[in-house]
Structure 1
Amino acid sequence: MRILAAMSGGVDSAVAAARVVDAGHDVVGVHLALSSAPGTLRTGSRGCCSKEDAGDARRAADVLGIPFYVWDFADRFKEDVIDDFVAAYAAGQTPNPCLRCNEKIKFSALADRAVALGFDAVATGHYAQLEDGVLRRAVDADKDQSYVLAVLTAEQLSRAMFPVGDTPKDLIRAEAAERGLAVANKPDSHDICFIPSGDTRAFLGARIGVRPGAVVDDDSGDVLAEHEGVHGFTIGQRKGLGISGPGADGRPRYVTAIEPDTGTVRVGSAERLKVDFIHAERAVWTSGSAPDGPVECVVQVRAHGGLAPAVAEATESGIEISLREPLTGVAAGQAAVLYRPDPAGDIVLGSGTIAVARPVAEDV
């Protein structure tokens, strides 16, 4: 097959490309230029898709003996990922830009161009397992990225390959060293790739501006502080609230609700963060069709945690998820990913974007 290997400049995508070459496929490497400032350099483990990363990807392709190109997707990335990220925070949500990048860029815009050029699939260095259209967690649980791939449709998965998902990360690094790839010990990227400073609040503030509002106590209704915009807060946040001391009960306060229309940020006890029902929109089912009736599953609401057994059911408006155990810190804009436990790697059933998370206290 003709395979387009998406090469970020990191060790995972380099080994993924190498494995596809070893499998006998006709492989071409491509690095996506996603920054409007191509001179930007990586700072340690922060950022990606920089000028340095492009150079690392090219050197890896040279070692593998495959053609290599750089494709400019900066405008599409800004529109579909960065602008979406900013808009979601302005609306009081907590988005995951990696999901949107996979959905809109790597397995949509990139894959569409690849198919148009005669390629059969796109191979990436994501940690997940994919066989016969079934998406599973990676063997390395600490590196598993199936959560950020759960937004992919059955059609998108049919054009994807994840060659490193069956191997622990330390062995991937060892393999890279054996192959003579200079990125063998390159640090993994952390945080949000387009915010290399790590200061998300400053990044959002520069684009959204000042939109004053109040921090209000859930119990008393008292205004505890003023703030410059709801984009500076997320559900479950404890620090940086601008308030003095704990609540009247002597316990810490957390952000329990964000109301973008009024600019109100509500804070309360940890108990108020517990939810047992989630309604998710924009449902995607990896099999290509929704299940018939309720499904016993495990739901994950954050990229690195937030799991609970649940019963999920497809509806006309999305997915209704009843949690068998309460979860905390569930925010609108996050993805709710449904898994079916399996010894060979939990199977991804589907996902949806969280629209409503109902607190336990509101049950009737």
Structure 2
Amino acid sequence: MSTAVHAPETATETPLNSLGFAKPPSQTRVVVAMSGGVDSSVVAAKLAREGYDVIGVTLQLYDHGAALAKKGACCAGQDIHDARRVAERMGFPHYVLDYENKFRESVIDEFADAYLSGATPVPCIRCNERVKFRDLLETARELDADCMATGHYIQRKDGAARAELHMAADPNRDQSYFLFSTTQEQLDFLRFPLGHLESKAETRALAAEFGLSVADKPDSQDICFVPNGDYAAVIEKLRPGAADPGEIVDLAGNVLGQHRGVIHYTIGQRRGLGIGGLGDPLYVLRLEPETRRVIVGPKSELATKFVPVGEVNWLGDEAFEGEIHCDVRIRSTRPPRPAILRPLGGRKAEIELLDPEEGVSPGQACVFYASGDSRVLGGGWITVQRRKAA
């Protein structure tokens, strides 16, 4: 009579759920940052459908009265209502937090002051850095959440050494430029469930599948607190007298005309200078708020090869030292370009662009990527331009 031989029993490991935790979704609490748009609504609905313990949180970020109102913007009246409707439909709790004072102090005031100093700020990055991924993330921890999820189009991947930040699968929706300042500690806690989708159409299809009222809601455009893209109007409201007129001069200091306020101009601008008929086209090369002068010159003077950056956030596995060959992006609308990154100590560095770029402006972000790869290595803020292209 034969006897069957059984393999010794081994402990069965609990498989990871879709958010990377070794426990059932029902035992995984996730706070979803809900702006009221289709992206974050789909994230919340998808996770709720999968059985996660979802808590929706919407931040009221700015006065949605006449002063700064913008139709179709996020984090204001209608959007709060839309987020609440999604939560009611999918059956999870939803809270609205008043962050108006924090948003004004951390984002809007700096935006206005940066423009007054001649820089070109990117307030969406500061909002992620100082409000959503700092204050809201801390609130998520206080709610005993295992993680916080957002509707950003970017990917979080488990690397050999740590969690890594990668560009979205859809290059047309990629938001990595706006999330470079995400720290490693924050990245460990964050999740981005939409980053792997190939198109926005997939997101809207999911919204329709879940029966969400925001399925066809238009995407928000420009900066949420700037009506119709009129930056100058907002700055004049916040800083009366900011639009004092001054002189438009060439590189030799010759006065070519008058302008209506430095805040109306950006580096690289050609149209709207009001100095036509002077020969070759002229471009804004530099802004001097202290003298209220706009310096213009030929397009060739815009080319920049060396870009100084500060407040560097480093997400690479290797130490931030020596020469680092990578790709960099200096505008959200431009693809990454090959460059050499040279740390200068502390959180400062200089970028050498292998091919000079035009229109590099203080106040913009410079984001670092692994050469030829989707991984985000970090980034910094462009400071005063020092050296031109050779």
TM above 0.5, one fold? yes
* Structure 1 match to 2:22: none
Distance in 1, Cα, partners of 2:196 & 2:64: 35
Q: Aligned residue pairs: how many?
A: 354
CA displacement at 1:23 relative to structure 2 = 4.3
Distance in 2, Cα, partners of 1:174 & 1:159: 28
Aligned counterparts, 1:176-195, within 5 A: 176-195=207-226
Distance in 1, Cα, partners of 2:29 & 2:317: 25
TM-score (norm: length of structure 1)? 0.92
CA displacement at 1:342 relative to structure 2 = 5.1
CA distances 1:302-329 after superposition (whole Å, capped 9, x unpaired): 1111632101022215111111001111
CA contact (8 A) 1:308 1:327 kept: no
* Structure 1 match to 2:64: 37
| Equivalent of residue 304 in structure 2, options 260, 269, 275 | 275
- In structure 2, the CA distance between the partners of 1:313 and 1:19, relative to structure 1 (3 Å rule), is farther
- In structure 2, the CA distance between the partners of 1:42 and 1:231, relative to structure 1 (3 Å rule), is closer
CA contact (8 A) 2:87 2:94 kept: yes
CA displacement at 1:35 relative to structure 2 = 1.7
CA contact (8 A) 1:273 1:359 kept: no
CA distances 1:1-59 after superposition (whole Å, capped 9, x unpaired): 2211011111100111123334443110011111223698752xx42212111111111
* Structure 2 match to 1:360: 388
| Equivalent of residue 255 in structure 2, options 215, 219, 223 | 223
The structure whose RCO (Cα within 8 Å, separation 6+) is larger is 1
Distance in 2, Cα, partners of 1:142 & 1:149: 16
CA displacement at 1:261 relative to structure 2 = 2.1
CA contact (8 A) 1:98 1:148 kept: yes
Taking only the aligned residue pairs, the percentage that are identical comes to: 45
Give the root-mean-square deviation of aligned CA atoms.
1.9
Shifted more, 103-112 versus 46-55: the winner is 46-55
Whose Rg is larger? 2
Partner amino acid, structure 2, of 1:165: G
Partner amino acid, structure 2, of 1:29: G
Partner amino acid, structure 2, of 1:297: C
| Equivalent of residue 154 in structure 1, options 184, 187, 206 | 184
* Structure 2 match to 1:101: 127
Q: Does 1:203 align with 2:234?
A: yes
* Structure 1 match to 2:330: 301
Q: Does 1:171 align with 2:197?
A: no
CA contact (8 A) 1:306 1:328 kept: no
CA displacement at 1:124 relative to structure 2 = 0.7
| Equivalent of residue 376 in structure 2, options 326, 339, 348 | 348
CA contact (8 A) 2:64 2:70 kept: no
Distance in 1, Cα, partners of 2:363 & 2:267: 11
CA distances 1:42-85 after superposition (whole Å, capped 9, x unpaired): 52xx4221211111111111222111111110110011110010
| Equivalent of residue 93 in structure 2, options 54, 63, 67 | 67
Q: Secondary structure at the match of 2:134?
A: helix
- In structure 2, the CA distance between the partners of 1:288 and 1:57, relative to structure 1 (3 Å rule), is farther
Aligned counterparts, 1:45-124, within 5 A: 46-124=72-150
- In structure 2, the CA distance between the partners of 1:306 and 1:137, relative to structure 1 (3 Å rule), is closer
Aligned counterparts, 1:320-335, within 5 A: 320-335=350-365
CA displacement at 1:289 relative to structure 2 = 7.1
Distance in 2, Cα, partners of 1:196 & 1:313: 39
CA contact (8 A) 1:153 1:288 kept: no
- In structure 2, the CA distance between the partners of 1:88 and 1:288, relative to structure 1 (3 Å rule), is farther
- In structure 2, the CA distance between the partners of 1:38 and 1:123, relative to structure 1 (3 Å rule), is farther
* Structure 1 match to 2:247: 214
CA displacement at 1:334 relative to structure 2 = 0.3
Q: Secondary structure at the match of 2:382?
A: strand
Distance in 2, Cα, partners of 1:174 & 1:67: 24
CA contact (8 A) 1:306 1:327 kept: no
Distance in 2, Cα, partners of 1:15 & 1:342: 31
- In structure 2, the CA distance between the partners of 1:41 and 1:78, relative to structure 1 (3 Å rule), is closer
Distance in 1, Cα, partners of 2:372 & 2:41: 29
| Equivalent of residue 127 in structure 1, options 140, 148, 153 | 153
CA distances 1:184-216 after superposition (whole Å, capped 9, x unpaired): 111001111001232112222233323332211
Higher strand share: 1
Q: Secondary structure at the match of 2:354?
A: strand
| Runs of at least 5 residues in structure 1 that lack an aligned partner in the other structure | none
Distance in 1, Cα, partners of 2:32 & 2:96: 12
CA displacement at 1:160 relative to structure 2 = 1.1
* Structure 2 match to 1:257: 286
Q: Secondary structure at the match of 2:290?
A: coil
